[in-house]
Structure 1
């Protein structure tokens, strides 16, 4: 719980929080004045000075307009405070999903982030209103009769402090209840799914015992939550009702010592209209929205990959790729896409990766480029795990071109030199010529022409991305079906350009010709893998021979094995 509260407190350390506090000041004035106005108006009416009493009440109405103006500004400042928090959570969820491949990230992004955002905004408003009310009431009571404040404020603060203490207990029991509910759902679903087998085998008693324990745990968790609700009621009785009862009990004693009837009524007004509703609201919000905020934010933060902020960023030595016992699965309960994979791609190598669709070729590319983190095993890039490299160093070491090439609105030159902004015109022209994009650049109107991505074909976008990658300083290039929309001749020219460029080339093969051009070929086959050249694999890999058998000369592409 401390982690979640600390995260929320960090989000408040911004200028927007200061502006929110400043615009809350106008609301303090009507809160502080209404008890005083009621006291003076009551005394004026009792003394027969009706117009003076009406003037006090009119002043109270006037200050209410001032408070309304402050409230209007508060909601604008609230957006400045809450939206950056939402943006940070979205970045955390997306970053965690890219590193772990967790399928539950979609639920966190669409639902849990919005829950945290909404509950955080509600909590900020409620706590702000509570602080405004408390400061206003304390100011009013001290100006009206300090002795009344001495009877009212201590039990109120005691009740509020007790409710905060109960909140931590409530959060823990809420988590226990959620875990018990999930366990019950899983166990009951398993029992219901096998009801025919249970009946056929006469295993009713076993099934009853199997489901009985989660039911008992769920019932105990709900009883624990009910006890917490009873404690919250007791806290409200101490903070909300005790001040009122104390003030009524000592009323005759106060009147006997010179406190006027209006002053006593003003004190009661502060309790009934100010303190009691404020305490009820803040306790309800903390007990409802507060718990949802803590539990939901905890789930988001728990899903983030562990980091060690004290660990220094290290630099790689070269760009050799080494995999040792690498295993990766999309989620804790999912079957591994890659299992115990050993591979070394030396500097200057040209490797083609082939296999049926869905076998894990693109996953391997994402792992090598540091976009995914291994579930187990090791992956080293230049002797260092990609996760330990600085973002700048990682960008200088490898470049990945996916099947759906990225092109943005800008000039042709800006698109091509995106990874090398200080590239000279001759360097850009050389890259364009090398990958065979010269005719496309001429058709677009030259390097200074504006690019409209929606007017380019998929193949044209791939040519621009290929020229960009060729121009980049990264010595390791990974082409993940990056030429699938090009014809075989254009693909040949691009791949031969990268092979002659220097550095290392890894090609996720789309056509069999890509594999035949490579120095080595990696064949992925479920949890197995084979590596070698074309001749060796024809002799040792049945899957490689099968993939060759699915090659259609007219299309020159590897067809998925059925």
Structure 2
């Protein structure tokens, strides 16, 4: 149950925290390589905009200057001009297809390349996962092609209709623009929750598929061990999660009908309501009113319905698919997250390129070709089986170990050993507390810390009760060995929190605390300005992090917790192990007593 609340809290935090989309970044980078066909496609789209632009003007002229003026031939000629423009639009639509292919096919090739390279770089490739990613590549190609083909027509049509309205009847334009702007703002406001809910649906469906596949694959083992009830319960939970995600998406998607009503239907209703007054006061002629109606009914309303309905759904699907491909196939650097304490004074991004480390020249490397980028201000949890290199990575980040090969930069630079100690603060599992005044222990890394800063650090880390029991900050520690391992960790956490270093590395530095104390300490460090790397030993540490770095076989996979559960069978096993051991872990005392 506790794990469930942690997962829910983690999901809420991700929903409420603005984050950059790695999928859109991937798409924009690819589009930058196909600028020429994109520009040509745009040029033909402008030609396609001629009929929507001229439609209302030509209808108005046909009525006022032709039929109502007693010149039916002239009226037919104006309408024939509209027909000729429509033929030109059909030719432009056909001419744009080769340029559309020149944009979409390189995107498909680039995505396939990413998926293949990612699969080859992993110690063990999951065939089912690679198949899912391949399907998503094709889905991304089809969605991109469909969106570009539809958006260029709908977007140009909408712009042309508004320009035509401004030319034909400027007095009517405010009646149309106000509800249209309201609809646009509402649609923009809905996009983020819609994308998040669509992503939740995809992850939930993939998790259910993965769980069902594992259950079917191990059906004999399930029957032999008599765990049918537990497996059925796990599948029911996954199915319930998937259904709940689909219902949440449906509720959010229903609001798109309001966008259509505001942007497409309301302008028509407003203009029709005002039509008698506009005609009576000679603001519009009969032909101009018909021209306005042509723009609204034949151009604006269908465009809004298409954008909010069909295109909106495709856009959400493409956003989720691209994010999944970008996250699963490699790891672009994220935008730095904002922290509760403000921005850091320097760039604290960590970039590991082809990083390799072996304890001896002939020894098997612990890390072998590790490529990871951690954004400035990001909170990353490092997980993996025993011996995967988690503590080795912590030592490399802190400068205690030197890479055998590869590159490790902080803020794009290679800090000197002296500067490294000022930039990175490492807190290992075994905390060091020396005899002497407690204040000196706590302010060892920040000797100029004020009383207010010290008091706040003690409170936010959760060491207030311990410091009070020891006699306050002015107490003297005569025998640090008399303190439990958990108590020493709490004091060391306060010391590290006060450190001016903008990068904090906690190498199982809370392993002797109970789950509640660990939660408070890690949340304090997460809210502290700077980059946080936590070598995790509980599932809760991974749930609290922005992303999780899974180490295995010398390589690493960096993704969100929910994505890793789908992408990595090893991570699912680690999570299952953590959840199975949660009661034992939660019973541990923060004073370091055994459970």
TM-score class normalised by the smaller sequence = 0.5 to 0.7
Mapped pair 1:296 → 2:318:
no
Q: Please name the residue that 1:23 is paired with.
A: 44
CA 152–225 in structure 1, closer or farther in 2 if over 3 Å, else same? same
1:157 to 178, 181, 195: 181
Task: For 2:350 and 2:96, locate their aligned partners in 1 and report how far apart those are by CA, in whole Å.
Answer: 39
Q: Check whether the contact 1:327–1:339 (CA below 8 A) recurs between aligned residues.
A: no
Q: Deviations over 1:141-165 (max 9, x none)?
A: 1111111222113312321332232
Q: Deviations over 1:424-474 (max 9, x none)?
A: xxxxxxxxxxxxxxxxxxxxxxxxxxxxxxxxxxxxxxxxxxxxxxxxxxx
SS at match of 2:171: helix
Q: Please name the residue that 1:67 is paired with.
A: 89
Q: Report the TM-score when normalising by structure 1.
A: 0.54
1:103 to 121, 126, 129: 126
Offset of 1:92 from its aligned partner? 1.5
Q: Please name the residue that 1:217 is paired with.
A: 241
Offset of 1:270 from its aligned partner? 0.6
2:285 to 260, 266, 270: 260
SS at match of 2:70: coil
How many equivalent pairs are there? Answer: 348
Q: Please name the residue that 1:230 is paired with.
A: 254
Task: For 1:292 and 1:168, locate their aligned partners in 2 and report how far apart those are by CA, in whole Å.
Answer: 13
Task: For 1:293 and 1:276, locate their aligned partners in 2 and report how far apart those are by CA, in whole Å.
Answer: 24
Task: For 2:214 and 2:351, locate their aligned partners in 1 and report how far apart those are by CA, in whole Å.
Answer: 44
Offset of 1:219 from its aligned partner? 3.2
Offset of 1:388 from its aligned partner? 7.8
Offset of 1:244 from its aligned partner? 0.9
CA 314–205 in structure 1, closer or farther in 2 if over 3 Å, else same? closer
Task: For 2:192 and 2:331, locate their aligned partners in 1 and report how far apart those are by CA, in whole Å.
Answer: 25
Q: Check whether the contact 2:154–2:307 (CA below 8 A) recurs between aligned residues.
A: yes
CA 28–384 in structure 1, closer or farther in 2 if over 3 Å, else same? same
- 5+ long unaligned stretches in structure 1: 329-335, 342-373, 390-526, 528-562
Q: Please name the residue that 1:32 is paired with.
A: 53
SS at match of 1:323: coil
CA 204–11 in structure 1, closer or farther in 2 if over 3 Å, else same? closer
**How big is the alpha-carbon RMSD for the aligned residues of Structure 1 and Structure 2?**
4.1
1:449-460 aligned within 5 A: none
Task: For 1:222 and 1:233, locate their aligned partners in 2 and report how far apart those are by CA, in whole Å.
Answer: 18
Q: Report the TM-score when normalising by structure 2.
A: 0.51
Q: Check whether the contact 1:134–1:275 (CA below 8 A) recurs between aligned residues.
A: yes
Mapped pair 1:270 → 2:270:
no
Offset of 1:217 from its aligned partner? 2.8
Q: Please name the residue that 1:4 is paired with.
A: 23
The answer to which structure, 1 or 2, has the higher relative contact order (CA under 8 A, 6+ apart) is: 2
Q: Please name the residue that 1:384 is paired with.
A: 404
Mapped pair 1:133 → 2:157:
yes
Task: For 1:263 and 1:229, locate their aligned partners in 2 and report how far apart those are by CA, in whole Å.
Answer: 37
Q: Which of 162-171 and 51-60 deviates more?
A: 162-171
CA 38–177 in structure 1, closer or farther in 2 if over 3 Å, else same? same
- 5+ long unaligned stretches in structure 2: 1-19, 334-348, 370-383, 397-401, 410-552, 554-595
| Max Rg structure | 1
SS at match of 2:80: helix
Mapped pair 1:323 → 2:348:
no
Q: Please name the residue that 1:175 is paired with.
A: 199
CA 116–140 in structure 1, closer or farther in 2 if over 3 Å, else same? same
Q: Check whether the contact 1:41–1:53 (CA below 8 A) recurs between aligned residues.
A: yes
